[in-house]
Structures are given as C-alpha cells and as structure tokens.
Amino acid sequence: MVDDQHNFHGSSFPRRLLWYILIGFSLYWVSNALVVFPWILSRTLGIITMILSTVLWGYIAFYCLKHVPGNKWNKDTFFMALSFLLTGIVQDYFFYAVYRKIPEELYKPTTFFAYSLTFLMPFFIRYVILKGHNFKKVLFITSIKLSLTLMIGILAFLFTVWSMKYW
C-alpha cells in the first residue's frame, strides 16, 4: 500500500500543473502584500523588497520540486517557470491596467526584471542548487495543499486590495 503523503511516483502531471498555477497566483499576491508598505515609505524600498521577494519564489520552486519525481524535474521545471511567469503577467495586467487604471506603472524595466527572475528562479533552483540531487521521498499534492494554496492567495489578494487606500 502506498502512503498518501510520501511515495515514489508523486502526483499526476495535471495535478502538479494546477498546483503551479495556484502557487503562481498565490505567490504573486503574497509578494504584492509584502511590498505594499515598504513601497508606501519609498518607491526604491518597494523595488528592493520586490527583488528580495524572489527568495520566496526560489524557496517555493524548491518546495515544488520536492513533489516531483527526479526523472520529471526537467519538464516540471519548465512548466513551473512558465506558470509563474504567465500568472504574474496576467495578474499584473488586471491589477495595474484594469483595476487600478495605471498601465504606465506596469511596464517599467523593474517589471521586466521581476518577470525574468520569476521565470528563471525554478531553473536556478533545479540546475544550480539541486544539481545532482534527488529527494528520497516524493511528496504528494493533496487536496488540502491545493485548498490552502488558493486560500492564501485569496487572503493576500484581499489584503493587497484593502491596502490600496494607503497608496
């Protein structure tokens, strides 16, 4: 019998892909929530905080790879990076261009730098940090993990929208 929490096959690819999309959604809003108040103090401080949030993206990429069998890391790293990038671009567009109606604030060099870091971070974790490494146990993506990831994203989204009155 296979333990639901740890096994050697991991979750199916569609389930992992859904999780990457949910993580991209949630991490985007958590990063925004972390940047809000430093940005209010200083735009430069906000940009620095935004760049430092890539450490969080890196840790999450590492955590995601713990849910993938080693022989599928290459494929999953690409789809994880693509999910992170696309969810960030789509959410940026809706948050800045549609909701806040300030598209001119969106397409700055720092935005494209952040997109690059978000996309490249899973590759950095995979090919530099975890080079030659393989986890003994592959974690399973449970329904609870999917639900918690979505809940965290929704709460961070609500916090970010609430904090808009301070911008």
Q: What is the DSSP string of 111-153?
A: HHHHHHHHHHHHHHIIIIISTT---SSEEP--HHHHHHHHHHH
pLDDT at 16: 96
Q: Residue 6 domain-assigned?
A: no
Q: Residue 114 domain-assigned?
A: yes
Asked whether the predicted pLDDT for residue 165 surpasses 80, the reply is no
Q: Residue 2 domain-assigned?
A: no
> How far is Cα 108 from Cα 133, in angstroms, rounded to an integer?
37
pLDDT at 9: 61
Q: Residue 61 domain-assigned?
A: yes
Q: Residue 85 domain-assigned?
A: yes
Do the Cβ atoms of 4 and 142 come closer than 8 Å? yes
* Closest listed residue to residue 35, CA positions, set 86, 77, 96, 116: 96
Asked whether the predicted pLDDT for residue 2 surpasses 60, the reply is no
Rounded alpha-carbon distances, angstroms, from residue 116 to 30, 77, 81: 18, 15, 10
Asked whether the predicted pLDDT for residue 160 surpasses 50, the reply is yes
**In the chain, how many domains are there?**
1
pLDDT digits (tens, 9 = 90+) for 46-99: 888 887 888 899 999 999 999 999 899 999 999 999 999 999 999 999 988 998
Q: Residue 3 domain-assigned?
A: no
Q: Residue 154 domain-assigned?
A: yes
The domain in which residue 45 lies consists of: 11-161
Q: Residue 21 domain-assigned?
A: yes
Mean pLDDT, residues 132-160 taken together: 93
User: Looking at the chain, how many residues does it have?
Assistant: 167
Query: Percentage of the chain with pLDDT > 90?
Result: 56
Mean pLDDT (the chain) is 89
Asked whether the predicted pLDDT for residue 142 surpasses 60, the reply is yes
pTM: 0.87
Rounded alpha-carbon distances, angstroms, from residue 68 to 19, 47, 158: 12, 32, 31
